[in-house]
Structure 1
């Protein structure tokens, strides 16, 4: 009797063990399927690059945008807005561009760089000046249709809430050591430039490189204490150039008038190369 009871116990234990193993295998298969389905969401969201510091730590919200091309274009889950000033109005967008987009813009611009100019208040034309010592170029209308540029343009329009057709062509700039841009306003003080699209409303300034010492974007009228501008302590707000980040600021106030507090400048670069891309946006369509 005892031996029969022992056999029954062993048989039951064997069945329980097999059941536990089978259940564990099913659970592992379920987890693997979940991982695989989560992974399929990543290629669309990584289409525009995944080298930014924030791209390797995906927030849970990313999985909810699986196979959503619109989310990929807008970098939903990657772009992190930070309000840095209410007067003047300034928003810093972390991870606004992917590393691939930054490299793409620099590659397009590099062969076509020329000495930067400033707008002459009397004629509205670009003239050379020691106020601005960088080199730069403008993308053309055909390049604006390229998929990656189109995605950037759409992202700018969405986050700024200004229609894409109100935007000027993107300008790419390079600042080498000892180069800078003295404080200035982006809005026009001449009537010549107002004929095409009206006044400039806002600016999206995108940073395309890391490892730059100096080269901060400086807002002297922003109330923020002191900050380092090209190695010198100054009063105001300074935004450090980090690859993929973008600064959105408004040249026009909520009253519809040009905001003199939007004055800003590019601090002197001490080492490395500062590359940036600028998008100016107008009151009306520019073409």
Structure 2
């Protein structure tokens, strides 16, 4: 109806105001006819106003519903540390954008100024929703969490859970898809846009693809009971029943796999090689960086986290003010982090390489040089990273086959992380928890130039928090007299 009013009104206005052409002043009779035209013009304008008012009423109604949604289900900016709350916000903004876009497209405004303005707004895209959903699933996989566990602090409604399940399904993660569809089914209400039939179909299909045929049959039968006339469902059920007798295995789709790599167990805190005997070799002290004049009157707190390879944590080496400055200059420049293979799933964060000319960056670089005793002339520029939903960096080496010459790594923690986000040294068997203001330092190369294979490390997925770090990769060039080479195979 609204479209019809819009079309009629525009056509009438066009025919009268734009399309009508004529000369009146040369004919008194034609001038007298303008009385009727005036009434027609005003009547048409009235219709135009009525049409606009109907559109505005619709917009106000949708706005009220959107505002009601934010009121009933608010998201505090502080809660964005919770990955589920972050996903909810992304999805809500996406839904709001689609509704606003639909409304503004109905406007009779020729130029549609608001629509043009919205084109410049930063709106989450489908890829953002997909990345956030897969981030949640990644957290579930590593930390062995069910939907009820990961949504303990922030719950999802049926529609939101369905979207997570759908992305899991498209990525062939059928067990997680099944669990999210089940979670969605439990929360189904009369206000949900997803239907019970759709959920049962996906639940049954996910169980089938996972290999749990009896479960697929059970939920397929429930779907058939809702609509006994659906022949497609009957055909599927017959196929499932035939497969049931052919399959020898029947994996439990309700129970997550407990098998884990050492990296995963380190991230979960199940492994820690720092036994009491081993800890006797570790120590804490005040360090002057080998007698550096700048540290003589202000030594740094040094804690040996591991002795072979030597992994040292320095406490309170950067102030909260400096951290905020680094964050502020980084935020507008952040972009997706890459590896040698480009953008990959093994590294989910955004990063930026900072300008060395900034006074705070220069001060931090000088401090790193003072603490380590190494030259910064050939070092890479300070590399700031912020991790996203389930943000991680899977096991890797900072130096491999002497490709970059990264002799050492200085990793600064710019935030605390409530859960997850540890730096796990997978070959050693320790995981270092981020502590704001501290930094961890280690050598990637032996003195003989070979890669120290024990320095493989990873950034564990952030389960709760907002993880910021800054990396300084120090190169071997210029360190000849600061860390002399050795011909020994063992050094």
The TM tier, using the shorter chain, reads 0.5 to 0.7
The aligned residue for residue 458 of structure 2 is 265
Match of 1:97, SS?
A: coil
TM-score by length of 2: 0.36
* CA deviation after TM superposition for structure 1 residue 75, in Å: 9.7
**Alpha-carbon distance in structure 2 between the residues aligned to 1:186 and 1:260:** 11
The aligned residue for residue 116 of structure 1 is 337
In the alignment, which of 444, 458, 467 is matched to residue 274 of structure 1?
Answer: 467
The aligned residue for residue 80 of structure 1 is 301
In the alignment, which of 216, 220, 223 is matched to residue 422 of structure 2?
Answer: 216
| Greater C-alpha Rg | 2
Match of 2:303, SS?
A: strand
Higher RCO, 1 vs 2 (CA within 8 Å, ≥6 residues apart): 1
The aligned residue for residue 432 of structure 2 is 239
Deviations 1:199-240 (A, max 9, x none): 110000001112432100010122xxxxxxxxxxxxx11111
Cα pair 2:401 2:451 within 8 Å, conserved: no
Cα pair 2:303 2:314 within 8 Å, conserved: yes
- Structure 1 gaps of 5+ residues are 1-60, 62-69, 121-126, 223-235
**Alpha-carbon distance in structure 2 between the residues aligned to 1:239 and 1:162:** 23
What RMSD in Å do the two structures reach over aligned CA positions?
Answer: 2.2
Cα pair 1:176 1:271 within 8 Å, conserved: no
The aligned residue for residue 369 of structure 2 is 157
**Alpha-carbon distance in structure 2 between the residues aligned to 1:166 and 1:240:** 29
The aligned residue for residue 131 of structure 1 is 346
Select between 102-111 and 253-262 the one with higher mean Cα deviation.
Answer: 253-262
The aligned residue for residue 101 of structure 1 is 322
Q: Which has the higher strand share?
A: 1
Select between 260-269 and 86-95 the one with higher mean Cα deviation.
Answer: 86-95
Q: Runs (4+) of structure 1 moved beyond 2 Å?
A: 74-79, 188-191
Match of 2:313, SS?
A: strand
Deviations 1:143-185 (A, max 9, x none): x122221111011112112101021001100012311100100
Deviations 1:255-285 (A, max 9, x none): 3311111100000101111000000000115
* CA deviation after TM superposition for structure 1 residue 108, in Å: 0.9
* CA deviation after TM superposition for structure 1 residue 188, in Å: 3.5
Query: What is the aligned length?
Result: 188
In the alignment, which of 204, 209, 212 is matched to residue 410 of structure 2?
Answer: 204
* CA deviation after TM superposition for structure 1 residue 249, in Å: 1.0
The aligned residue for residue 25 of structure 1 is none
**Alpha-carbon distance in structure 1 between the residues aligned to 2:387 and 2:458:** 13
Deviations 1:31-82 (A, max 9, x none): xxxxxxxxxxxxxxxxxxxxxxxxxxxxxx9xxxxxxxx74xx595463011
Cα pair 1:181 1:267 within 8 Å, conserved: yes
- Structure 2 gaps of 5+ residues are 1-285, 287-292, 479-491
**Alpha-carbon distance in structure 1 between the residues aligned to 2:466 and 2:383:** 16
Does residue 185 of the first structure (1) align with residue 397 of the second (2)? yes
Match of 2:441, SS?
A: strand
Report the CA distance shift for 1:119/1:146 in structure 2 as closer, same or farther (over 3 A): same
Q: Which has the higher helix share?
A: 2
Match of 2:377, SS?
A: helix
Report the CA distance shift for 1:211/1:190 in structure 2 as closer, same or farther (over 3 A): closer
Q: How do 1:13-24 and structure 2 match up within 5 A?
A: none
TM-score by length of 1: 0.61
